[in-house]
Amino acid sequence: MKILVVEDEERVAQFIQKGLQEEGHAVDVSADGEDGGFLAEVNDYDLIILDLMLPKKNGLQVCREIREHGIITPVLMLTARDSVEDKVRGLDAGADDYLAKPFAFEELLARVRALLRRQSETKTPTLKIADLELDPMSRQVTRSGKAIRVTTKEYALLEYLLRNPNKVLSRTLIGEHVWDMNFDPESNVIDVYISHLRTKIDKGFEPALIHTLRGQGYILSDNAPHS
């Protein structure tokens, strides 16, 4: 999943970013409310982790504004304040959950999972093309009923492909969604992971599902596209 973290305390932001990346998420980080609100409006995120006290524009303002712009992405609000009144203000501004600092990363991760699970339940429960299936709830991948083991990053890449079937996805799009907005498009890491996925989900199966369109990107389709 792609997550935006809006947090001005650098150590806290890096702590959250590193932990979420280890769980396979692509994470963008912003250090102020103005920039964070802009990123939330121009990018497609699955979850926003938003600090309450931010420079330029506080978390309540950011949350209200993105809701006014029709953005329904789940928001987990962080704050050093733990009063009932502050929690109510955050929830009334449009936040979906609230976590007081300091917190254990395990609790943050549990809340992230719960919000992403709710988000997934509003989408197709099982992602499928041909005989390839991915269950976002159990994170299980199968083809022709055979279980396929994938790494955390392979799973993230495959899920993104399955959420965008029959669409040509450029390396830049894949990099920004599966890695983060600072991904180097000149890197060959996408090619490496695509190769790993092909070995696991295409080798020994028909038809091949992952296709390369030279100069354009990759496409997941059960019909071989014309390059």
49-108: pLDDT as tens digits: 999 999 999 999 999 999 999 898 999 999 887 677 777 887 888 899 989 888 889 999
* Low pLDDT (below 70) residues in the chain: 82, 119-124, 225-227
* Per-residue pLDDT at 121: 60
Distance of alpha carbon 183 from alpha carbon 200, whole angstroms: 25
| Candidates 3.60.15.10, 1.10.10.10, 3.90.480.10, 1.10.150.80; CATH matching 127-220 | 1.10.10.10
Q: Taking the domains of the chain in order of start, what are their residue ranges?
A: 2-121, 127-220
Burial of 206 per CB tally in 10 Å (0-12, 13-18, 19+) = exposed
Burial of 186 per CB tally in 10 Å (0-12, 13-18, 19+) = exposed
* Per-residue pLDDT at 177: 82
CATH class of 2-121: alpha beta
Global model pTM greater than 0.75: no
* Per-residue pLDDT at 215: 83
Distance of alpha carbon 105 from alpha carbon 87, whole angstroms: 20
* Per-residue pLDDT at 23: 85
* Per-residue pLDDT at 55: 94
84-92 and 59-68 are packed helices; what angle lies between their axes, rounded to 10 degrees? 30
